[in-house]
Amino acid sequence: MRPQGPGAPRGGSPADPQLASAHGATKRFGELLAVDQVDLQVAAGEVVGLIGANGSGKTTLIRMLLGLLAPTAGHVRLFGGPPSRRTRARLGYVPQSLGLYEDLTVAENLAFSTAAYGSHDPVLEGELAGVRDVLVRELPLGLRRRAAFAIALGHHPDLLVLDEPTSGVDPLQRARLWETIRASAERGAGVLVTTHHLGEAEQCDRLVVLASGRVVAAGSLAEVVGDTTAVEVRTPGWEAAFTALDAAGLPVSLVGRTLRVPGAEPGAVGRLLADAGVPADVATVPASFEETFVVLAA
């Protein structure tokens, strides 16, 4: 067992403080370039969000970082060296499917995991303590997610990799799950979160946005959004305005009774509406993260 005291080294090594990193990581499957020269770092104590659409290369990149796939070019490092069986013990991974045995109880799942990692039995706290002898299958999703977290954190991993960690749960449960994730980061673990849920992006310290296998933006939420704008359309008849802009092939969206067109040019939107005979006020506004993402992914 590695020492787990407060003085224990948490970074990869003195020469490489990153827990996990990819340098020009590239993965080709035949004709398909799944991941294309990606750079990514996760340091101790930070929460990094990996954001991308389906097929953007998120899963392939994670599999390379975990050592489950070898890069075609470039390289990945885990705790300062190549990923290996040995580094697996310093990792906590919660897949979207949660990776629990549904026909075992919470306590049995925990015992299985601690035996595999050779770690001590972590204490099940709060509501989880009350369901330790309940079959995982019979738990509501929120508690199932918390059980998966408790089990993945049981061996005090230095790096946590979480795939869609709060999918399907209500806002209070989501906030409680993030409390656990943040507490791990504050104790010095690095956290890599992959998510579809763009509201989740604001929980991260840093974001890496993937599209078609490439990094198209990286940095804080404010840096990623940058000066991306949307055109906001206010009109008494949103239906006619929507129909006109949609027919012109613009990525128009409805928010309440207001329309928004990310990445568009206000003059062009105004002309289209005037041609359709729809009176409207058109203004340029900062884009939301979701709108920025749609513009970046296009």
Contact footprint for other proteins (CB under 8 A): 47, 52-56, 140-142, 167-173, 175-176, 178-179, 182, 196-199, 202-205, 238-240, 242-243, 246, 251-257, 290, 293-294, 297-298
- C-beta of 179: minimal distance to other proteins in Å? 5
Contacts of 257 (CB under 8 A, 6+ apart): 238
- C-beta of 174: minimal distance to other proteins in Å? 8
- C-beta of 171: minimal distance to other proteins in Å? 5
* Amino acid symbol at 132: R
Nearer to other proteins, 66 or 241 (CB): 241
φ and ψ of 197, to 5 deg:
-85, 105
Nearer to other proteins, 103 or 239 (CB): 239
Q: Kindly tell me the burial class for residue 185, based on how many C-beta atoms sit within 10 Å of its own C-beta (0-12, 13-18, 19 or more).
A: middle
DSSP assigned state of 164 = S
Per residue in 133-154, is it b (16+ CB within 10 Å) or e — as a string? eeebeebeebbbbbbbbbbbbb
Give the C-alpha separation, 115 to 97, whole Å: 21
- C-beta of 1: minimal distance to other proteins in Å? 30
- C-beta of 147: minimal distance to other proteins in Å? 14
> Residue 295 in contact with residue 228, Cβ under 8 Å?
yes
Nearer to other proteins, 168 or 279 (CB): 168
